[in-house]
Structure 1
Amino acid sequence: MTPFISIVSYALLPALALTSSSVWATYYKLSQKAKSAILHFAAGVIFSVVAVEILPQVVELHNWVLTSLGFGGGILLMLLIRHLTESNAPSTPPKTTTSLPVTFLVLLGIDVLVDGLLLGVGFAAGAKEGKLLAYALGIESISLGLAAATTLGNAGLTRGRSISLLVGIALVFIISAVGGATLLHSLPPSGLDLVLSFGLAALLFLVTEELLQEAHLSDEPAWLTATFYMGFLLFLLLGMLI
């Protein structure tokens, strides 16, 4: 098993990325093209980790029944989270207020909790997979922190209160990642197949239904699209070197 301290240190990467990007967003506002580039790059990175590291292990386990159950469970959970998010989304742009957006924070916490568990899945599969997934989720957390800070700012929360709430959300990620890696350690092949298939579905959903949908602009230049492939290639090469 990957040492506990090592898992904590790698879980800190996405947590720090979430916190630092949210702090940045409370002081500065990125352009739409800059946000789109980050989202494209993050999608390419996560897709690379899925295709190169996780998918081959699922195929190697070679149990179509367990793979179907795990993959289906992952899709159902992500669809449920999307349903809850959309059903609680305001139909009109929110006005500036000082009320705490409880629903948004709960859904953000669920999203981060799932990301943390996915990192735990990565370390359950192996140290290399866990490290690469930590880097990938770190990049994804940058875009998440930017979006979260903007939403809290629009809700009228002070800079200090917004940062405090997002630090708490980052701690949820660390706890879920460490807990997931600990609980999933020494799983039999059948259990590992279920967990990896679940993580595979959730990560694919994250790339195709969240990151790329948010990344696309109406007037998207070619260089923005290219950042997706840059992220994929970077982590493909990184997987060969680690």
Structure 2
Amino acid sequence: MEGFALVLVLAALPAAGNFLGGLLAEIVKVPDRTLSLALHLAAGIVLAVVGLELMPEALSATHAWVPILALAAGGLGFMGLERVIDSVRHRLGRGAESNGPWAIFAGVSLDLFSDGIMIGAGTLIDPRLGLILALGQVPADAPEGFAAIATLRRAGVNRGKRILLALAFGIPVFTGAALGYFVLQSAPELLTVSVLAFTGGILISVVIEEMLAEAHKGDTSPLGPVVLTSGFALFALISAYL
């Protein structure tokens, strides 16, 4: 197997990891304290993705100030994302008080999108690199899927819709993989790293403004900070050894 078919197979690995994490959130009972810890773990992982994976690529660019500016602009991207979510929920006749779980779902989807970009571009360089990138994302994506679906479950989203949303995690990673394989690989490096940095800026905002805020609703655990840093350390291990 080679070419874009291989990219799709590799991109399916992190999508499957996310789906399995979401499926686990459907099978087991998720008390508030467990969900709080899951969100702290996911937050640590996402921060590590930005700090250890996306930004080093951005800083290696010839004109590093461009992706750094794109990172800052990610805050505006997050504001736009919240406006879109708010608008959709109002059109459905619901208030804005439940935006948090949907913003977390969108943030996890953006993380998968960035995974897909790296898998698509990496596979074009060397299929073995694409495989390593794909396998390295799976242990990180499963906790994110668990946290996203468990949060939607607490928000009262019905089970059928939650399962469909868990399956929908495949869309951003496949989209990112196609973009990385067909478009960004032939684009200037500065554009590629700027797209990744902009995505990173949105992810930082999602973690601080939504994930951690949601983690402190209801019953919380004093182990939250330990789990947060453990999530960062988990991804650091994956990054260092894979």
TM-score bracket for this pair, using the shorter chain length: 0.7 to 0.9
Inter-CA distance 65–52: structure 2 relative to 1 (3 Å threshold): closer
Cross-structure match for 1:63: 63
CA deviation map 1:156-199 (0-9, x unaligned): x5x5x436623552342343232232232233222223223212
Cross-structure match for 1:214: 214
Moved more, 43-52 or 209-218: 209-218
CA distance in 1, matches of 2:85, 2:106: 10
Inter-CA distance 164–56: structure 2 relative to 1 (3 Å threshold): closer
CA deviation map 1:126-149 (0-9, x unaligned): 446665455433321221122334
Cross-structure match for 2:125: none
Which stretches in structure 2 are left out of the alignment for 5+ residues?
123-128
The reply on whether 1:170 has 2:195 as its aligned counterpart is no
Q: Percent identity?
A: 22
User: Runs (4+) of structure 1 moved beyond 6 Å?
Assistant: 103-109
Q: Within 5 A, what are the aligned runs for 1:34-183?
A: 34-86=34-86, 88=89, 90-91=94-95, 114-123=110-119, 126=122, 127=129, 132-133=136-137, 135-151=139-155, 154=156, 157=158, 159=159, 161-162=160-161, 165-166=164-165, 168-182=167-181, 183=183
Contact 2:41 2:228 in 1 (8 A): yes
Cross-structure match for 1:189: 189
Alignment length, in residue pairs? 228
State the shift of 1:39 in Å. Answer: 1.0
Moved more, 212-221 or 123-132: 123-132
Cross-structure match for 1:97: none
Name the amino acid aligned to 1:16. Answer: A
State the shift of 1:84 in Å. Answer: 3.0
State the shift of 1:86 in Å. Answer: 4.1
Name the amino acid aligned to 2:118. Answer: G
Moved more, 38-47 or 113-122: 113-122
Inter-CA distance 69–125: structure 2 relative to 1 (3 Å threshold): farther
CA distance in 1, matches of 2:147, 2:30: 11
Which stretches in structure 1 are left out of the alignment for 5+ residues?
95-102
Question: Secondary structure of the equivalent of 1:204?
Answer: helix
